[in-house]
A = this chain, B = another copy of it.
Amino acid sequence: MPSNISSSSSSGNNASLAKTWIRGFDSLIGGGFPRSSFIILAGHPGTGKSTFAIQFLLNGAAMAKETGIYASFLEREEIFIRNMSKSYGFDFKKPLEEGTLQFLEFTPMAPDVVSDTFNMIVKRVIETGAKRLVIDSLNALFVETSPAEQRRILEIVLNRIIKDQGCTVIAILEQSIGKTEIGFGIEEFVADGLIVFESYIEGLEIKRRAIVRKLRGMQHSSRYQSILLNPNEGISFLQLAE
């Protein structure tokens, strides 16, 4: 078991929970995300959202042999992997060779091809039997998309990916610094879970913390956790002292 994986005795191939094996996290949400759930991971730049999301996939591949797909609308695979490797020493080689990690790289797209793109993702989820999907990010995807079209896309995710394929989805939602509202006003209601990563200033330092705002079907923590980003481990969570 790699050092960056949370010590947990369960097999991870649990029928009802998609464990993250991220240190300090699964215990906050009752053991793992409910399978076939749609989780929004919202937060400020630099709070570790992508790190969390890739570890969710890497750990699923390493611990449970579950295939994960990272659909990136922002970063190129090569650079993403290089940065994650450098920062945290993650090993991408094995899961990429085994096919348990797949990276889908999308260029910015015209609003009228957004649905097509999602159909491509659906196709890949079906072909690979992926059980975990990351969408990075909804903002990049929803540039100039109308609210009604956003609803239709979310419907594809919910029905064809989550319901028909039993895949658990983490969608990243970027929050601008200085903006207090989260999201476009529809995603956070559709989602089964809403995890918020915040950066805040304490004295002269930026700090990061996370809180689970919603998780349907689970008893979850309702307390802020400190977010740690350590070399050779990636993200982990620690109870914040008051």
Contact: B206 with A213, CB < 8 Å?
A: yes
Given contact pairs A155-B107, A181-B179, A183-B176, A204 touches B216 in the complex (Cβ within 8 A): no
Q: Which residues of B contact A206 (CB under 8 A)?
A: 211, 213, 222-223
B177 and A182: CB pair below 8 A?
yes
A66 within 8 A of B: no
Contacts A/B (CB < 8 Å), 11 sampled = A34-B83, A34-B86, A82-B217, A84-B217, A87-B216, A108-B151, A108-B152, A140-B186, A177-B188, A204-B223, A204-B242
We find that the number of chain A residues with CB closer than 8 angstroms to chain B is 73
Tell whether A146 is near chain B: CB-to-CB under 8 Å. Answer: yes
B174 A182 Cβ-Cβ under 8 A: no
The answer to whether A182 touches B176 (Cβ under 8 A) is: yes
- If A110-B148, A146-B144, A148-B143 touch, whether A188 touches B207 (CB-CB below 8 Å) is no
How far, in whole Å, are A223 and B201 apart by their CA atoms in the complex?
9
Q: Does chain B have a CB within 8 A of A219?
A: yes
Q: Looking at the complex, which one of B36, B199, B203 makes contact with A242 (CB distance below 8 Å)? A: B203
The quantity of this chain's copies bound in the complex is 6
Q: Would you list which residues of chain A between 145 and 184 have a CB under 8 Å from chain B?
A: 146-148, 151-152, 154-155, 158-159, 163, 174, 176-183
A16 to chain B, nearest CB (A): 8
Is A123 part of the binding interface, using a Cβ–Cβ cutoff of 8 Å? no
Closest Cβ of chain B to A64, distance in Å, is 20
A228 to chain B, nearest CB (A): 12
Residue in A139, A140, A186, A240 with the greatest tally of chain B CB atoms within 10 Å: A186
How far, in Å, is A35 (CB) from chain B's closest CB? 10
Evaluate contact between A87 and B178: CB separation under 8 angstroms. no
Residues on the B chain within 8 Å of A192, using CB: 79, 83
A204 to B200, CA, bound (A): 13
Say yes or no: is A127 at the interface (Cβ < 8 Å to chain B): no
CB-CB nearest in chain B for A85: B217
C-alpha gap A188/B217 in the complex (Å)? 29
The listed residue (B108, B189, B201) touching A45 by CB distance below 8 A is B189
Check if A111 is an interface residue, CB within 8 A of chain B: yes
